[in-house]
Structures are given as structure tokens and as C-alpha cells.
Amino acid sequence: MIWIETIVNGILFGGLYGLLGVGLALIVGVMRVVNISHGEFIVLAAFVGVSLAGAVPTLHPLVLLVPIVIAFFALGYGLQAVLLNRIVERTDPFAAILLTFGLAVVMRNLMLEGYGADPRTLTAGTLAYASVRVFGLAIGVLPLVMLGLSTALFLALQVVLTRTRFGRIMRATADNRDVVRLMGVNPARVYNVVMGLALALASVAGVLLAIRSNFTAYSGVERLLLSFEVVVLGGLGSFWGAMLGGILLGVVQLVGLKFDPNAGPLYAHLLFFVGVLLRPNGLSGARS
């Protein structure tokens, strides 16, 4: 029973990992660039959550997600419009890597300056300890809420991509950014919205992860590594693949911790390594 409980908890945890990577998958899928500062934005959202929770202690961190998501959408939109659109159409992939790497370094140091190096966390109150019994298994309410929220966001993204006019434009822009211009679409504006969506999703993951575990100004690297693993394991640019990749990493990490409590995320990293060897195009089979 303990193993089933561990696997269920891994699935619940993995949904959150999927959310970590889906923003990155969206950026890779539509713009074909890698945002090295993705992890720093996840951590920044967590710090903003801590600040807001301090300023308005009566509000639950999950409620604080609403203003944070709106702010991060605007931040992503602005960042893309002002900075990243300058390099996104360059054929040299290093331009985007170097620019976002520089951005990550600046953000990390600014967060260190502003919040210090001490570990922080967001408290979820009684919700953090609440659990329900399903078929004899004790399942935490908070992880269940997190998986529900992650799944709802994935479904919303699916609806936007497949059922809306903007989703059609987004997919077409990912296919060929020159040809959409012949249809009156300015790819730069599409990229602004995509980056806004990516950072909004990253901010949700950042706040939820801050409720589950400690973080510092240096946690961005670890978050980025996890996001990468989720995206690559799932299949570059495939967002349902990201969900699947996240769940697999979550399950393997928790099962690994049962075997070896000091292992940390070692087994999740090993799964990534084996996954890349066996299925270089990812679980969804999406091409890079």
C-alpha cells in the first residue's frame, strides 16, 4: 500500500513538474528559442508570492496567484516586446541563449540583493496538512488541488491552441513565421503573447512549488534543470508531453526517495538520462 501511495503522490507532484516545463515547451515550440532565465522567473514568482503573503497575510497563497499570474503575463509580454524580439528571428541559436543567460544572472543577483540568501517558503495554512482517504489511501488535499490546477491549466491551453483563432495563429506561426506574415500576422506580437502565457504558467508553478518546498535566490538553476528535463523527456515543444514527462519525473523521484532518502532528485535525473538515450525525440515523439 505504501508503494501505491508513493506512486499516487508522485503523480500529484509530477503535475506540478509538468507545469514547470510547459511554459518552456510553449516558447520552444512556437519561437524555437530556449529561455535560460525560465527558472529565475519561477523563483521570482515565488518571491513575489512571499512578499504579497507578507503584505496581505489574510489571503491564502492560492488566492494570491490571481494578481501574480496577471503581473507575470504582462512581464512576459513586455520582456518579449522590449528585449527578446530583437534576437528571436536570428538564425544563430546562441544569441537567445546568451541573452537569456545574461538575464538569468542579473535576475538572480537582484533577487539575492532584495531577498537575501535565506531559504523561504510559502505557508498554505491548514490546507497543507489536510488529507482525504481514497480506497484506503491518504492523499493530501493540497497536492490534489495542485494537480487539479495544473490539469485545468493544461486543458485551458489545449482549448486555446486548438479551438481559438489565436491558437490557430500561434500554431501557424510556429510552423512558418514568414508565411503568416503574408496573412497579415505580425509574428512579434504573437511571440509577445506566447511569452506572456509562458511566464504566467511559470508563475503558477513557482508559487505552488514554493508552497511545497523551500527555495532561495539560487533555486532558479534547479528549477530550470527540472523544466528542461520535463520538456525534453516529454518531447520538445509538446505540452501534453511536458505533462507526461513531469508526472514520470515526479513518480520516479518519490519512489527513488523511498529507496534512498538521501538521493534527492538523483533518480529523476537518471530517468531523464535513460529517456534521452532510448527516446531522443521524447515520449510524445515530437520533433525538435
Where does this chain bind another protein (CB under 8 A)?
Answer: 165, 168-169, 171-172, 174-176, 178-186
**What is the smallest separation between the CB atom of 231 and another protein, expressed in angstroms?**
18
Q: Find residue 133's DSSP bridge partners.
A: 138
132 vs 159, which CB is nearer to another protein?
159
Q: How many residues does the chain have?
A: 288
- Distance (Å) of CA 5 to CA 133, 139, 141, 170: 11, 8, 14, 39
Q: Choose between 180 and 197: whose C-beta lies nearer to another protein.
A: 180
Q: Which is nearer to another protein, 133 or 165 (CB)?
A: 165
Question: Taking the complex as a whole, how short is the minimal distance between the CB of residue 12 and another protein, in angstroms?
Answer: 31
Instruction: Write down the residue that cell numbers 491551453 correspond to.
Output: 157
Contact status, residue 41 vs residue 221, Cβ threshold 8 Å: no
Query: Residue 64 CB, nearest distance to another protein (Å)?
Result: 36
Q: What does the DSSP 8-state code read for residue 283?
A: T
Is 179 in contact with 172 (CB distance < 8 Å)? yes
The Cα–Cα gap between 77 and 200 comes to 10
Minimum CB–partner distance for residue 189 and another protein (Å): 9
Instruction: Considering the complex, state which of residue 169 and residue 221 has its C-beta at the smaller distance from another protein.
Output: 169
Q: Is 47 left (phi over 0), alpha (psi -120 to 50) or beta?
A: alpha
Distance CA(238)–CA(247), nearest Å, equals 14
CB atoms near residue 171 (< 10 Å)? 14
In whole angstroms, how close is the CB of 287 to another protein at the nearest point?
11
Q: 97 or 185: whose CB is closer to another protein?
A: 185
Which of 171/258 has CB closer to another protein?
Answer: 171
Residue 236 Cβ, how far from another protein at the closest point, in Å?
Answer: 14
